[in-house]
C-alpha cells in the first residue's frame, strides 16, 4: 500500500514528471525537503526563531521566512513572540499539534493495541484488543478522539501475529485510510530514530524480545531488510556450548517455563539468556558496527534490566580479555521498551507525508 511521499502544503504543488526531460532535483523537491526538515526540527526542539532555523538548515533568513509561511498557510505551524526580558522579542514558530493526526496499530500473538498521536507525537488516544473481533471497535474508539486531519494508520505486525493480512486491512480500511503495513522490528527502529536517540553514527540495532526474538536494523538512515526481507530474523541463531537458539533460551515463553519449573529466582535464566544474546550482538556488530544497540519487548522491567546488566558484564569481561574490539557499544534499553512498536507504527503516516525521510 503506497501513497505519494510529497508534503502537500499547496494545491498547486506537483511532483516533477520524470518524462519531461529534466534531470536532478526540482524546486518542488527542494521545497518539500525543507518543509519536512523544518517540521522535524520543531518537533524535536520545540519553538524556534527564524535565526535558529537558519542555523539548523543552513539557509538564509529570507528563505526561512518563505518556508514557515507555507507551513503556516497550511495550518501546520504558528508564530508568536518569544517571552524575553530584553527589549526585542523575536518571533518563534511552533507546531500546531491539532493540525494533523496519525494512528498506529500493533498486532502480536497476545492481541495488540492502537494509539493516535498528534503532530507533536503526543498520544491522544489508546485502546487495547485481544483478537480480530475486537480490532474494529478499538479503532473506532480511538478514531472518535481525533478532531483534525487524519493522515492514515500504520500497522505493525509481529512474525507470529495470528491474523490474515488481507482480512485485517479490509477491516481497518473501512475505518481509516491510507494504511501502511510494516514489520514490528522496523516500527521499533522508527520510534527510536524519531522519538529516541536518533540516528547514531554507524547505525542502530533494536532487538525485540517477546514470543520470538528479532532485530530491527537502521543503516545509513534507512531500515535494512535484506534482499529477501529477512534481515534481523535472529531468533534461530544458535550459539554457546549448548548450541541453543535465542528463541529457545531468551524469549518470554522460555522465562515463563523456567519460573514454572519451580525456580523462584530468575538469575540462572538471566545468565543463559544474556550470554546467548551477547553472542548474537557480537555477530551483528561484526557485520555492521552499529553506533547503538537497544533492547525492547515484553520482558518484565526488572528482568529486562537484569539481562542488560549481565550483557554489559559479558562485554566488559571480553574487552578486558581482548576478545572483542572495545568500540562495540554497550547494550542499553530502548527509549520506549514497551510502546516503541505501536509508536513507530503511528509515525509511519507522518513519515510518508510530513516528517523527514
Q: So where are the chain's domains?
A: 25-95, 98-189+341-353, 197-333
Helices in 180-323 by DSSP H: which ranges?
A: 184-195, 246-249, 252-260, 267-288, 301-320
Candidates 101, 78, 79; CA nearest to 90 is 79
d(C-alpha 42, C-alpha 36), whole Å: 10
Note the pLDDT tens digit of each residue in 15-34.
Answer: 445 444 555 678 888 889 99
Per-residue pLDDT band for 14 (boundaries 50, 70, 90) equals very low
* Residue 153: strand, helix, or coil: strand
Quick one: 98-189+341-353 is in which CATH superfamily?
ATPase, nucleotide binding domain (3.30.420.40)
Write down the pLDDT at residue 315. 76
Share of the chain above pLDDT 90, in %: 63
Cα 2 to Cα 80, 100, 152, 178, 179: the distances in Å are: 37, 19, 11, 8, 8
Domains 98-189+341-353 and 197-333 in one fold: yes
> Which residues fall within 8 angstroms of residue 349, CB to CB, at 6 or more apart?
102, 103, 151, 152, 153, 154, 178, 180
What DSSP string runs through 24-67? S--HHHHHHHHHHHHHHHHHHH-SEEHHHHHHHHT--HHHHHHH
Average pLDDT over residues 227-250: 87
Q: Highest-confidence range of 18-32, 203-217, 304-318, by mean pLDDT?
A: 203-217
Q: Is the pLDDT of residue 10 over 50?
A: no
Do residues 317 and 311 touch, judged by C-beta distance below 8 A? no
Q: b vs e for 88-119, b when ≥16 Cβ sit within 10 Å of the residue's Cβ?
A: eeeebbebbbebbbbbbbbbbbbbbbbbbbbb
Across the range 90-111, mean pLDDT stands at: 94
Helix (H) or strand (E) holding 70: helix 61-73
pLDDT at 223: 85
Per-residue pLDDT band at 322 (split at 50, 70, 90): low
The gap between the terminal CA atoms of the chain, to the nearest Å, is 17
Architecture (CATH level 2) of domain 197-333: 2-Layer Sandwich (3.30)
Q: What is the mean pLDDT of residues 99-103?
A: 96
> What pLDDT, in 10s, does the model give residues 169-193?
999 999 999 999 999 999 999 999 9
List, for residues 34-91, the tens digit of each pLDDT value: 999 999 999 999 999 999 999 999 999 999 999 999 999 999 999 998 877 677 778 9
Q: Cα separation of 75 and 223, whole Å?
A: 31
C-alpha–C-alpha distance, residues 8 and 30, integer Å? 13
User: Could you tell me if 57 and 34 are in contact, meaning their C-beta atoms sit under 8 angstroms apart?
Assistant: yes
- What DSSP designation does 128 have? E
Strands ordered across the beta sheet of 77-81: 48-49, 91-95, 77-81
The DSSP secondary-structure symbol of 21 reads S
Residue 200: all three cell numbers together: 547514531
Q: What is the pTM of this model?
A: 0.87
Is there a contact between 308 and 294 (Cβ–Cβ < 8 Å)? no
Specify the DSSP element, H or E, that contains 346.
helix 340-353
Per-chain mean pLDDT for the chain = 87
C-alpha 242/C-alpha 4 separation (Å) is: 50
State the CATH class of domain 25-95.
mainly alpha
CA-to-CA distance for 312 and 274, rounded, in angstroms?
Answer: 9
Lowest mean pLDDT among 51-55, 254-258, 285-289, 337-341: 285-289
Amino acid at each position: 500500500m503506497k501513497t505519494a511521499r510529497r508534503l502537500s502544503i499547496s494545491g498547486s504543488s506537483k511532483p516533477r514528471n520524470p518524462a519531461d526531460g529534466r534531470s536532478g532535483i526540482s524546486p518542488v523537491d527542494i521545497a518539500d525537503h525543507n518543509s519536512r526538515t523544518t517540521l522535524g526540527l520543531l518537533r524535536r526542539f520545540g519553538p524556534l526563531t527564524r535565526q535558529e532555523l537558519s542555523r539548523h538548515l543552513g539557509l538564509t533568513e529570507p528563505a526561512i521566512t518563505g518556508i514557515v509561511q507555507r507551513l503556516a498557510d497550511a495550518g501546520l505551524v504558528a508564530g508568536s513572540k518569544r517571552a524575553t526580558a530584553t527589549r526585542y522579542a523575536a518571533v518563534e514558530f511552533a507546531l500546531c499539534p491539532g493540525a494533523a493526526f496519525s494512528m498506529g496499530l500493533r498486532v502480536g500473538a497476545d492481541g495488540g493495541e492502537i494509539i493516535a498521536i498528534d503532530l507533536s507525537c503526543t498520544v491522544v488516544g489508546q485502546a487495547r484488543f485481544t483478537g480480530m473481533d475486537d480490532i474494529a471497535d478499538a479503532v473506532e474508539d480511538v478514531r472518535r478522539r481525533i478532531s483534525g486531519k487524519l493522515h492514515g494508520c500504520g500497522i505493525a505486525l509481529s512474525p507470529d501475529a495470528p491474523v490474515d493480512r488481507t482480512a485485517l486491512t479490509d477491516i481497518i480500511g473501512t475505518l481509516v485510510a491510507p494504511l501502511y503495513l510494516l514489520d514490528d522490528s522496523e516500527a521499533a527502529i522508527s520510534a527510536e530514530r524519531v522519538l529516541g536517540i536518533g540516528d547514531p553514527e554507524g547505525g542502530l540495532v533494536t532487538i525485540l524480545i517477546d514470543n520470538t526474538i528479532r532485530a530491527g536494523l537502521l543503516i545509513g538512515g534507512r531500515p535494512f531488510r535484506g534482499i529477501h526481507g529477512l534481515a534481523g530474523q535472529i531468533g534461530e541463531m544458535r550459539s554457546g556450548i549448548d548450541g541453543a537458539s535465542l528463541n529457545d533460551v531468551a524469549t518470554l515463553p522460555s522465562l515463563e517455563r523456567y519460573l514454572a519449573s519451580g525456580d523462584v529466582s530468575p538469575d540462572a535464566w538471566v545468565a543463559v539468556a544474556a550470554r546467548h544474546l551477547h553472542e548474537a550482538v557480537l555477530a551483528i556488530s561484526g557485520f555492521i558496527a552499529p553506533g547503538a544497540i537497544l533492547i525492547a519487548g515484553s520482558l518484565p522491567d526488572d528482568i529486562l534490566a537484569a539481562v542488560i546488566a549481565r550483557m554489559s558484564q559479558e562485554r566488559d569481561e571480553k574487552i578486558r580479555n581482548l576478545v572483542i574490539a572495545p568500540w562495540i557499544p554497550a547494550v542499553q534499553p530502548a527509549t520506549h521498551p514497551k510502546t516503541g512498536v505501536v509508536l513507530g507504527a503511528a509515525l509511519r503516516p507522518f513519515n510518508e507525508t510530513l516528517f523527514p525521510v
